Amino acid sequence: MIQVAFFDTKAYDRPSFERFGSEHGLAFRFLETKLNEDTVALAKGCSAVCVFVNDTVNASVIDKLYAYGVRLIALRSAGYNNVDVQAAFGKIHVVHVPAYSPYAVAEHAIALLLTNVRRIHKAYNRTREFNFSLNGLTGFDFHGKTVGVIGTGKIGRIFIDICRGFGMRVLAYDPYPAKDSGIEYVPLDELFALSDVISLHCPLTDGTRHLLNAAAIEKMKKGVVIVNTSRGGLIDTEALLEGIKARKIGAACLDVYEEEADIFFEDRSGHILNDELLARLISMPNVIVTSHQAFLTEEALNNIAETTVNNILSCFEKDGICDNELCYRCGRIEQCKKERMDKCF
């Protein structure tokens, strides 16, 4: 039986992972603590660890995991910016879940956008207090507006399809354009200048960190709406706040935050929030923040568990080749797996 240390366990994780794990002979050791240098010893005796977006899997943690006999890091997410894939190469294989439910994330992005633009959250709070005034609730039509989509992977393309259904013009930027997609790709500066709404659907890398910074915001249309359901580090939070205060940014819809690791996924309602930037963001009347919940649908949770279990089985029980491996052998992380026909190492 394969023993797997399951870090940062939430109540919604267990049912699907217990079901798929028991069906395939995996034993999950569910741990509420996040993986980091102080907790890595909890993985002793396990062949694999299963981690989420706010676990810390740096070079030091990887070296300790390797010393404990761990040979697989199984991400139950698409993003992997919290894992030092280069440090893992040659020691521990790394796999992820590239597409659990792109519909869940794309639909949540639209839900945030509609809620903010049409002031639905404000109307909900008013009517619960029997205040039926419409003052201050004026929004705008999506139809005829231009949306700029940065990143046209599966989630980005589904988001584009939904926006087209509203009658929006879609502009997109991606260093790797989707072939024969019918998507209108433009340079990033042009996307900034022409878009009424900008939605981020790209991974967090050294090249995309603070993609939306003060210089980028300066190039945008006055009143632009920013949507981010990808990774918090794509946006420079201080620059975002300054843009909101200067009335350059009309609204922000955020499911992620660059310093979310020690805040999101926990009930902190009885505590003083020490993060001043996040507190200021939440206090803004034109900002909606949800706590990294875009993925959270029944379909996505089942797909995440099933894919993660299959990833583990592929690495240990079959030929060792996993289609969802993140490899540093050629430096292209995700791209090389489409070409190689053997193990990463």
The domain 2-100+297-338 is placed in CATH, from the list 3.10.20.740, 3.10.690.10, 3.40.50.720, 3.40.50.150, at: 3.40.50.720
Helices (H), the chain: 14-23, 59-67, 85-88, 102-117, 120-128, 154-165, 188-194, 214-218, 237-245, 276-283, 298-316
Burial (0-12, 13-18, 19+ Cβ within 10 Å), 37: exposed
Note if 292 is an active site residue.
Answer: yes
Model pLDDT, residue 261:
87
Domain boundaries, the chain: 2-100+297-338, 102-289
DSSP class per residue in 287-315:
EEE--S-TT-SHHHHHHHHHHHHHHHHHH
Model pLDDT, residue 318:
65
* Strand partners for 185: 172
Contacts by 206-209 with C-beta closer than 8 Å and gap 24+?
208/234, 209/233, 209/234
Q: Which one of 96, 157, 231, 325 is the catalytic residue?
A: 231
Q: Which one of 258, 260, 306, 325 is the catalytic residue?
A: 260
Contact in structure between 30 and 6 (CB atoms under 8 Å) = yes
Which pTM value belongs to this model? 0.88
d(CA 198, CA 209): 16
Contact in structure between 75 and 51 (CB atoms under 8 Å) = yes
What distances in angstroms separate CA 54 from CA 51, 69, 94, 229, one per listed residue?
A: 8, 23, 16, 15
Model pLDDT, residue 320:
76
CB neighbour burial string for 217-248, b if at least 16 within 10 angstroms, e if fewer? beebbeebbbbbbbbbbbbbbebbbebbeeeb
Model pLDDT, residue 344:
73
Provide CB contacts within 8 A for 226, sequence distance 6+.
198, 199, 200, 212, 235, 240, 249, 251, 252, 253, 254
Fold match between domain 2-100+297-338 and domain 102-289: yes
CA 241 to chain CA mean position, Å: 21
**Short-list 295, 292, 260, CA closest to 106:** 295
Q: Which one of 108, 292, 306, 325 is the catalytic residue?
A: 292
Task: Tell me the Ramachandran region of residue 324: left when phi exceeds 0, alpha when psi lies from -120 to 50, beta otherwise.
Answer: alpha
**Short-list 278, 178, 304, 291, CA closest to 229:** 291
Q: Report the residue count for the chain.
A: 345
Note if 271 is an active site residue.
Answer: no
Tokens of 228: 């981010």
d(CA 339, CA 341): 7
Residue numbers in the chain where pLDDT is lower than 70: 318, 329-342
Model pLDDT, residue 16:
96
d(CA 272, CA 257): 18
Model pLDDT, residue 345:
74
Note if 260 is an active site residue.
Answer: yes
Model pLDDT, residue 330:
60
102-289: CATH superfamily: NAD(P)-binding Rossmann-like Domain (3.40.50.720)
DSSP class per residue in 142-159:
STT-EEEEE--SHHHHHH
